[in-house]
Amino acid sequence: MLNPDEHLISFSAGISRENRSDIGFLMQEADRFATSTYDRDLHWQSWLNYFDSCLRKYGCERLTTITSRPLFVSDTKELDDLTLEVATFDDAQGLLDLGQEVLATLDIYAFVVAWLNTDGTGNARLGSWVVVPCSLNRRGEITLTTFAVQLRGRPMTTQHKPEAVLYMSGGVYTFHPQDYEPFRGEIREKLKGINLRKIVQGLDLVKVPNSPLCR
């Protein structure tokens, strides 16, 4: 089981060490920028909006957004009911499959089971993560997909048994190294001396779906 609050990044073969490093620093800067304004425990969507705006400022071109309605879970089987709303993207099913792979990688099932087996008192944030699978498209460009996942436990007082609520949203981007490069020094300078959120790399997530937007 992965720790709450970590960023997770997966790189496919062919992405250079420099680009991997730049994407890692960009994720840290987006986290720093969003967290400097919003507490993601309390203002999750606003935090995500700031995270997204930082990506787009420093070299990421957003191709589409990923949203979903809150998924209320009182049985782990209900996690299979996750649906994603994707704008202007041909392979929405591919993104849904990737979203399910992200949940499996995070071991969301274990978090849900642990909560459902409690007495359900209180309102708990069980974890929030940003998961970023990166791959090369057919033109050799870097496609960066973000899945922002938050899981909260709901108290038993609102229903007859404990319940968890899953939130997932994100986007698909093209990362342009030439647009990021002028900001590389500035970003690394901003991050000096800051207690940064941990980034886990090298997770075996499936490839970003094919789509004309990503070719």
pLDDT of the chain along its 215 residues, tens only? 556 567 788 898 899 999 999 999 999 999 999 999 998 888 889 999 999 999 999 999 999 898 888 888 888 888 888 888 877 666 667 777 888 888 888 888 888 888 888 765 655 666 788 889 998 888 899 999 999 998 888 776 555 677 888 898 999 999 999 999 999 999 999 998 877 776 776 555 544 443 333 33
The token pair at 10 is 């997966």
Question: Domain segments of the chain: what residues?
Answer: 7-205
CATH number corresponding to 7-205: 3.40.198
The structure's pTM equals 0.83
Length of the chain: 215
Strand 163-175 versus strand 60-67 pairing type? antiparallel
